[in-house]
Structures are given as structure tokens and as C-alpha cells.
Structure 1
Amino acid sequence: MKKIALFLIGFYRKYITPFTPRSCRFVPTCSAYAYEAIEKYGCWKGGYLAVRRLLKCHPFHKGGYDPVP
């Protein structure tokens, strides 16, 4: 399951991201954060961290540097 999740994130980063405008307010980007979190903690905890990060992605959050814990 971990390999599938990492493959899907890699596919998104390689084939979908180039066609979207760059508007990420975080460093690292949300997809890089999700990839690193899943790689480090596995699918469940890493996925939870990734979803929590995605929920912060809105105009009222200042963004900035937010590494994987």
C-alpha cells in the first residue's frame, strides 16, 4: 500500500503538476511533504500528516516552512 501511495504521488508530481500554476504557500510543497511523510511513517500516519497539511492550504493560513516532524 505504501508503494502504491508513493507511486501515485510521484505520478501526480511528474505528469499533473507541470500543467498547474505554481501556488503552493508551503516549503516543502504539499506533494513533497506527503511523499516524505508516507516514506518516513508509512501509509496511515504519513497519510494522516499529509491530509492535515492539505487542510492548512487555504488563503487564511500564512504558509512558510513546515517540515515533516
Structure 2
Amino acid sequence: MIKIYQFFKKILIFIGFYKPSCRFYPSCSEYCSQTFKKKKFPKSLFLCIYRILRCNPWNKGGYDPVK
């Protein structure tokens, strides 16, 4: 599901309909993809939801790798 989202997002960026503006590096979708590769499912799901909840105007963002 994450890979499908990333694929369509790249197409929209390429044709100019979407401007990337993620507060974090790596982006939230890339972070979730990495988490599911490195952690077990329940932990990955929790980390992804927590990351998405932190993605808001009141958070600075910045470098936030999967630990």
C-alpha cells in the first residue's frame, strides 16, 4: 500500500500537480516503509501512526530516522 502511494506521488510531482512538503526526513511514507522492513508489525504500526500524528504545523520536523 505504501509503495502504491509513493508511486502515484512521484507521478503527481513529475507532472506538477503536487509539491512535496514533508517536514521530516525521511518522508512519512518512506519512514513507514523502512519501519515495516526493520520492526515487527505491531511496533511498526504504532511508529507509523505516531509519526503521522506528529506531522502537523506545530512540529518542527527534521531528521527522524527509524531507530
TM-score range with shorter-chain normalisation? 0.7 to 0.9
Gaps in structure 1 of 5+ consecutive residues? 1-7
Instruction: Give the counterpart letter for 2:61 in structure 1.
Output: G
Displacement of 1:42 in angstroms is 2.5
Q: Does 1:14 align with 2:7?
A: yes
TM-score computed with the length of structure 2 as normaliser: 0.83
Instruction: Give the counterpart letter for 1:35 in structure 2.
Output: S
Instruction: Give the counterpart letter for 1:11 in structure 2.
Output: I
Q: Among 59, 62, 67, which residue is 1:61 paired with?
A: 59
Structure having the larger proportion of residues in helix: 1
Displacement of 1:43 in angstroms is 2.0
Q: Does 1:51 align with 2:49?
A: yes
> Larger C-alpha radius of gyration, 1 or 2?
2
Displacement of 1:61 in angstroms is 0.3
Aligned length: 61
Gaps in structure 2 of 5+ consecutive residues? 13-17
Name the CA distance, whole Å, in 2 between partners of 1:67 and 1:41.
13
Q: Identity of paired residues, percent?
A: 39
Structure 1 stretches of at least 4 aligned residues deviating more than 6 Å after TM superposition = none
